[in-house]
Amino acid sequence: MPVISRFYGILIAMYFNDHNPPHFHAKYSGYEALFDFEGNILEGELPEQLAL
């Protein structure tokens, strides 16, 4: 998994040839969410205090 950024325990990653629509993955302490490039959550969840 290509990691783009890692900060405050949050990992941001994108996968090569992943499904549409274009998105990135955010992972934190057992949570995972997929975000579009406008910041909308497409799938999953993160703890409320971490809402990107």
Q: With a cut of 70, say whether residue 1 has pLDDT above it.
A: no
Q: Which structure tokens are listed for 21? A: 């629509």
Enter the tokens of residue 3: 């990691």
Residue 41 CA to residue 35 CA, distance in Å, equals 5
> Residue 13 in contact with residue 3, Cβ under 8 Å?
yes
CB 32 within 8 A of CB 25: yes
Question: How far is it, in rounded angstroms, from Cα 12 to Cα 3?
Answer: 6
pTM for the full predicted model: 0.80
- 18-48 pLDDT, tens digit each: 889 999 999 999 999 999 999 999 999 998 8
What the block records as the tokens of 46 is 């993160």
Mean of pLDDT values over 7-27: 91
